[in-house]
Amino acid sequence: MSQQLDLASLLAHPANGGLRPVAGTDDSPWSDVVVDSVEARLTAQGDATTDSALGILTVEPPPTSWQQDALIRRVRDRGYRALAMPGADHFGAGSRILADRIGLMLLNTDDPMVLAKACWQLLEGRDALTLGYVRRVAQSIEYHADNLADLLRHLSSSVGHGIALIDAEGVLLQAGGGLPDAVHAAIDFGPWLDTVTVADGSAASVHVDSPSRAGLRLAFFGAGLSALQLSALAVAAEVAMPAVAARILIDEVADVNDAAVASALMRDFLEHRDGRDAELEQRMVDRGWRTSGHHLGFRIVGRTRVDTFQLLRFVTRELGSLPMDSHAVMTGSGLIGWLSFTSPQSPSEVEAHVAALRAVHTATRRGFNVATGIGSPENGSAGLVTTIAGARDAARIAVDRSATGWFVRIDALGLEQLLLSWTESDTFVPAAQSLLAPLVSAAPELLPTLTAYLDHESGIAATADALGLHRNTVSARIARTQELLGLDLGDPEVRLALHLACRAVRG
């Protein structure tokens, strides 16, 4: 045989006959592999101090300890540094110590002939090893896969190594283990094919030819892989890639359709907020949307043009790491979403949830120019509508708030700021009525006086002339208005908000 074989690559082989170490620590490469059913027919390897070979016996070890010791000595004297056989686990403790002392590694194999085939592939059968991987990939593709994750599971299980769909930022999906960070960092995203080996493991990756998602690679990975195995896995990855790319497209079409259905469902829910619709509520339950309980809404909106579907994909992935029930749907130029809880949340818990959403916002802004608004905690189906409406209002303000990092929480805003944001929403009139309710209940003349006062640019004399009142009367009414509302009419923003509210209430 012209190559050398090491234990790590043999253990990494997906079809190694159930190989596992039993005793011995000398794992230096082997220059030859000999298979036989009788220990006496194992070919002598010459100088036992320099040569190294793996012997494979197809029979179990003898039952007594002295016979086991004798077998170990004879195999080592013939120049072998490793012995694999079925039932090697039955070697006694004394025999294992002896093997370790004289430099013979003992290996257990459930199927010696399968192990021998794996050794041949790694030493001489480069094409056979590659063909074996390719055949397993083809068999995996023949199976029906429910989605991309299911396809990756099939591929990993058949090939016998981990598999991951990655981009430059990290791992998007994986099966059969976790791709080490150091391996991901070493992968070159430029060439069509790439193989890397670092201390933490190895990977063979190929560029994924996907028209909708640039910068993807498909990687087979594992520990202890030899250069021969990496080369074979690179071919396997190249064969698997078209099926993965096609599955990405199929799933993406399905995801777009599902996102459109979810968006329409949320629109129907918000439009029917004043009445119960059993069929609508059942559709929401079927999607896993719980309207009962307690909710915290949020709105993420593009400050410039954004791909809302890709935004939804990213935000959904970020929300998936939060230890709570979360949902997000596309709407308009961004998303609306909410967190749901079975019990009321304490102020400290609400603060923690807001902080988590801020972290999602920060991560999202690395790839999307967005602003985020957070609603107030609310309860029940009507509360879900309210918190989403509040989040929309907060997002409308957040678009212009660079000082807050384009992140605004509605509970941190003054009512006058909310009124300015609400003028374009159907929540403006109820909010205006709520703001001015103290005037209506205290004295019917206060609201008309305030309206005239604001119409005449806060001029006492002009207001008195318009209403046919004495200026002292107007001054008294305005002072009373400020007292009832608790607002400073000297603030231009307050005056603007009140003016808008007066116009809305008086029609």
Average pLDDT for residues 493-501, to the nearest whole number? 79
* 162 phi, psi to nearest 5 deg: -70, 155
- Distance CA(301)–CA(251), nearest Å, equals 25
- Say yes or no: 403 and 482 in one domain: no
DSSP per-residue letters across 151-217: HHHHHHHHHTSEEEEEETTEEEEEESS---HHHHHH--SSSSEEEEEETTEEEEEEE---SSSTT-E
Q: How high does pLDDT run on average in the chain?
A: 86
- Distance CA(203)–CA(296), nearest Å, equals 43
Q: Cα(first)–Cα(last) distance of the chain, in Å?
A: 95
Q: How confident is the model at residue 51 (pLDDT cuts 50, 70, 90)?
A: low
What CATH number does residue 388 fall under? 3.30.70
Residue type, 121: Q
pLDDT at 137: 87
Per the domain annotation, does 258 fall within a domain? no
230 and 202 Cβ atoms separated by less than 8 Å: yes
pLDDT-wise least confident of 79-83, 123-127, 328-332: 123-127
Per the domain annotation, does 418 fall within a domain? no
Q: Which domain range does residue 179 map to?
A: 126-249
Residue of 120, 156, 147 whose CA lies nearest to 236: 156
- Distance CA(19)–CA(461), nearest Å, equals 99
- Say yes or no: 40 and 107 in one domain: yes
pLDDT at 419: 57
Residue type, 264: A
Residue whose tokens read 């949902």:
327
Q: Reduce the DSSP state of residue 279 to 3 states and report it.
A: helix
- Say yes or no: 409 and 276 in one domain: yes
- Say yes or no: 94 and 167 in one domain: no
- HEC secondary structure over 380-396: HHHHHHHHHHHHHHHHH
Per the domain annotation, does 291 fall within a domain? yes
pLDDT-wise least confident of 106-110, 180-184, 266-270: 266-270
Average pLDDT for residues 380-403, to the nearest whole number? 85
- Say yes or no: 444 and 395 in one domain: no
For 396-412, how does the pLDDT look when each residue is reduced to its tens digit (9 = 90+)?
888 877 878 899 888 76
Per the domain annotation, does 265 fall within a domain? no
- Say yes or no: 280 and 349 in one domain: yes
Which tokens go with 308?
A: 């809302």
Compare 501 and 107 and report the one with higher pLDDT: 107
- Say yes or no: 336 and 348 in one domain: yes
The answer, yes or no, to whether residue 346 has pLDDT greater than 80, is: yes
User: Which of these three, 70, 100, 123, is where a domain ends?
Assistant: 123
Which tokens go with 247?
A: 């599955």
- Helix runs in 36-180, H state only: 65-77, 93-102, 112-123, 126-142, 148-159
Number of domains the chain is built from: 4
pLDDT at 1: 41
What CATH number does residue 438 fall under? 1.10.10.2840
Compare 37 and 441 and report the one with higher pLDDT: 441
- Say yes or no: 325 and 443 in one domain: no
460 and 471 Cβ atoms separated by less than 8 Å: yes
User: Which of these three, 79, 104, 123, is where a domain ends?
Assistant: 123
Which tokens go with 28?
A: 């230096």
- Say yes or no: 307 and 358 in one domain: yes
- Distance CA(259)–CA(251), nearest Å, equals 12
What CATH number does residue 31 fall under? 3.40.1390.20
Cβ neighbours for 68, distance < 8 A, ≥ 6 positions apart: 61, 62, 91, 92, 95
Per the domain annotation, does 419 fall within a domain? no
User: Which of these three, 347, 382, 413, is where a domain ends?
Assistant: 413
Per the domain annotation, does 296 fall within a domain? yes
- Say yes or no: 26 and 155 in one domain: no
Per the domain annotation, does 422 fall within a domain? no
For 184-236, how does the pLDDT look when each residue is reduced to its tens digit (9 = 90+)?
999 999 999 999 999 999 999 999 987 777 889 999 999 988 888 898 899 88
- Say yes or no: 436 and 387 in one domain: no
- Say yes or no: 33 and 131 in one domain: no
pLDDT at 295: 94
Per the domain annotation, does 257 fall within a domain? no
